[in-house]
Each structure stands twice: as C-alpha cells, then as structure tokens.
Amino acid sequence: MDTYNLQLKIKSAFDPKAKAPHVLIEMTKKEYKRHSKNIIHVEGLSFCDKTKQVIYSNISYGSNINSNQSFVHSEGSKVTTRHVHINKIKKRIIIIVANKEECVAVLPSLIISSSINNTAPSGKVIIMACVLDNTKPSTQSWTYDDYPSIKSCKPNILSSSNHHGSVGYYASFGNKGSFNKSVTTSIGQYVTKKNKDEEKQLTITENATNYEHRVASVIDSSVQCLSIILPNIQSLISPVVDTAFEIQKKVGDINLQPLPSSKNGCWQTSICINAQTNQFHNENDCTYTLISIPYQTYFSRPSKKDRYHFIFKLSNTELIHLNFIPGVSFIFSGLFLTHRQNKNNNNTLSNDVFYNIASYGNKRLFNHLRKSINKK
C-alpha cells in the first residue's frame, strides 16, 4: 500500500465507531527472498481465551538463525528457551514473520503497510525485526550516576500502574492519554518532578530535557540501523500517531506534541532502569514497540550472571530469548507476539544499574487521540 492510501486507511480509523487500528509491514517477495535465511516463520496463529495470549502451532527457522536450547532463571525457577545468538548470525539480522491472512482473520481491522512500493506482496508480515550494530557510537555512554540524576527529575510511571507485573524504574517522555478534565483535549504529556524553589525547578527541567535528547539520540541510531532491513522505517513504526499529527494541523490543536524523536516515529519514549515484566502478555498497541540497548557501564562489570533479556513465547512449548547486549535494536508487534522482559537469576540484591530505551503507542493513547479529534 502506498503512503497516500495508507494514510487514507488510517484516517478512517479515527471515525468514532471504527475499530482501534494496528499496522504491520508486509514484505515484498524480493525482500522475503533476500532475508529468508535470517527469518523465523510462524504460522498456525491462535488466540487462547484463558491466558489471553497469541501463540503459533508451527515455527520454522532460516538457515542463518544461530540458536541453541538453553534456559533462563525466572522467579526462582528455570524456564527452557531457545537462545538466539544475534551476535553470531550472518548479517546480524533476525526477522520474525507471520502469514498476513492469519493475522487479518484474527484482526479484520488490521492495516497493512510496506517499506517500499509493494508491487509483489509476499503475504508475510513482520512481527519482529532485530539488528545488532557493533560499532560503538560517539554518543555519551550511560553510567551508574545517571540513575539518581534521572530519579531527581522524572517520576517513576510504574508507581501509578501495574503493567503485567512490571518492576523497575520507568522515566517517560512525550505524549500519553490524559484524564485531566481541566483542558479540552484528552492528550497530555509525561511530567517532570516539581519543586517550589525556582532555581531547583530550572535544574530539574534542564536535566529532563537533556535526558529526552539523549534518548532521542539512541532512537536515531536504532532507526538508522533498522533501515538496513526496512527502508522508510521511520514512517512505519507509528503511522497511526504520525497521521493524527497531520490531522491535528487541519482540525486544530489537540495537544499532540512533537518530540526530538518524532521524526523517527516515536511520540513517547521511556528510559527503563532494571526493568522486568513478570507476566507473558500481548497488548493491543497501535504502533510497533521499539527497544534499544545503549552502551553503558553495566557491560564492563566483572560478573555477567545477571543478564537481562527479552523472551518471545511463540508456542506453549517454544520460547526464544535475545540477550540484551550493547547495540541491539528491535521492533515488534505487542499484539501478535506474546512477550516479556526478564532478568536472569532475578537477583534483587544486585546493585547493578541496567538501561534500555523503549518507545510504543498503546491503545489508550489512540482512544484519546480519536476522542480529541472528534471533539473538533
């Protein structure tokens, strides 16, 4: 689908009674053939009413996928997984695809996009794409000292929510759905901490702005790396929110604010510190989720036993995990991949500080965007 028709399709999702949209990228036949050895293909999609999880009955691995049976420690027990070694894979690329027709059958409102003019669609949609860039960036590395500095200027958004058993410190920037009744729009922004002292407040605001730009720098690098697989990826991570911003220009201000990372499709960002999600889950996001692992002092420590990693539950018996190593970036569909973030050994006594950067657009944000647009 070309950009113009994609935008028209997305605009219709802002009609008051339309279904919440989800957008996936379909590969062309040429793209699928080029990357076939680096593809994990899942099919036989089913939705479990009891667990509310999406799983697949058939999983096949391309010949370049370097993996071995392994296990991770989780909540005091061992969980058997297949460890996929991104650093040992040719091209350092992993793509997970599903059958378009199966995804549409589960979600008839699914919108299909493409990274290039898709004259020969493959019928395979991308539900995860991962790259590893081993080139150490010139940007500032993240250190232990950043943690107290972040805490001094940004509140932990987990203090007011329970997201599938998530723990850690999440400092967020950008746009969110808001229930503030004192304004005419239901779009708000994540706040900085407040102090009655004007000089201290100025320092807090400056620190928050500095971290927002550092996050944007990590995202810029990640999107640039992902563009090796997916040209125009910056327009495909979050076309729903991108379209809402274009609608805002015509209907009037709904308080959807651009960020330093908006040009790369990221209208909300988070610094996730020592983050874990204890429950496997899916979520009806309107965007892909982007996760990136920046260079940081955590990786220079002598002990490696407390690794963080990301687990995808492909079936009831087939789990794969990616170790979080510096330079890893990936996007994935939170709707079509059951997932969670885990810390090996679950060592709560460790003084380590681990950072990953994330961006997503959830269903709540979309609902508030639609509500605000339709008030105009």
Query: pLDDT tens digits for 191-202?
Result: 999 999 999 999
Query: What mean pLDDT, rounded, does the chain reach?
Result: 90
pLDDT at 81: 94
Using 50, 70 and 90 to split pLDDT, how confident is the model at 6? confident
Q: What are the tokens at 170?
A: 């999440």
Reply yes or no on whether the pLDDT at 182 is more than 60: no
When mean pLDDT is compared over 126-140, 295-309, 321-335, the highest value belongs to 321-335
How far is the C-alpha of 353 from the C-alpha of 195, rounded, in Å?
26
Looking at residue 165, its pLDDT comes to 72
- SS3 of residue 171 by DSSP: strand
Residue 181 has pLDDT above 70, yes or no: no
- The CA-based angle 63-229-106, given to 5 degrees, is 80
Reference 358, options 100, 69, 115, 158; nearest CA is 158
pLDDT of residue 52: 83
Say how many C-beta atoms besides its own lie within 10 A of residue 208's C-beta.
Answer: 20
Which residues are CB-neighbours of 71 under 8 A, at least 6 positions away? 78, 79, 80, 81
- φ, ψ at 272 (rounded to 5°): -105, 120
Tokens of 30: 């040429």
165 vs 161, 162, 332, CA distance in Å? 10, 6, 20
Element (H, E) at 330: strand 328-332
pLDDT of residue 53: 93
What is the average pLDDT across 235-251? 94
Q: Is the pLDDT of residue 348 over 70?
A: no
- Per the document, the length of the chain is 376
- Cα 117 to Cα 158: distance, rounded to the nearest angstrom: 41
Task: Give the integer Cα–Cα distance in Å for 336 and 56.
Answer: 10
Are the C-beta atoms of 295 and 202 separated by less than 8 Å? no
Q: List, as one string, the DSSP characters of 247-280.
A: HHHHH--------TTGGGT-SEEEEEEEEEE-S-
Give residue 134's pLDDT. Answer: 78
Whose structure tokens read 């874990």? 276
**Domain span holding position 132:** 3-375
pLDDT at 306 (0 to 100): 60
pLDDT attached to residue 340: 94
- Taking the C-alpha atoms of residue 64 and residue 133, their distance in angstroms, rounded to an integer, is 17
Please report, for residues 30, 157, 319, the alpha-carbon distance to residue 191 in angstroms, rounded to integers and kept in the order given: 45, 10, 37
Hey, which residues does 71 pair with through a beta bridge? 80
What pLDDT was estimated at residue 179? Answer: 72
Give 48-91 pLDDT, tens digit per residue. 877 789 999 999 999 999 999 998 876 667 889 999 999 999 99
End-to-end CA gap in the chain: 29
Residue 297 to residue 315: CA distance in whole angstroms: 35
**Percent of the chain with pLDDT strictly greater than 90:** 75
The CA–CA distances, whole Å, from 269 to 266, 290, 303, 340, 366 equal: 7, 9, 29, 18, 16
H/E element holding 124? strand 121-132
pLDDT-derived band at 186 (thresholds 50, 70, 90) equals confident
The three-point CA angle 199-215-22 to 5° equals: 125
pLDDT reported for residue 257: 96
pLDDT of residue 76: 66
Confidence of residue 3 (pLDDT cuts 50, 70, 90): low
Q: Measuring CA to CA, which residue among 26, 240, 23 is closest to residue 114?
A: 26
Supply the pLDDT for residue 77.
76
Instruction: Measure the CA dihedral 275/280/285/287, to 10°.
Output: 60
The whole-number average pLDDT for the span 262-288 is 94
pLDDT tens digits along 106-134:
999 999 998 777 678 999 999 999 999 97
Average pLDDT for 155-184: 81
Token readout for 90 is 């040719």
Angle between helices 146-153 and 198-226 (to 10 degrees): 120
pLDDT at 345 > cutoff 70: no
Please tell me the total count of domains within the chain: 1
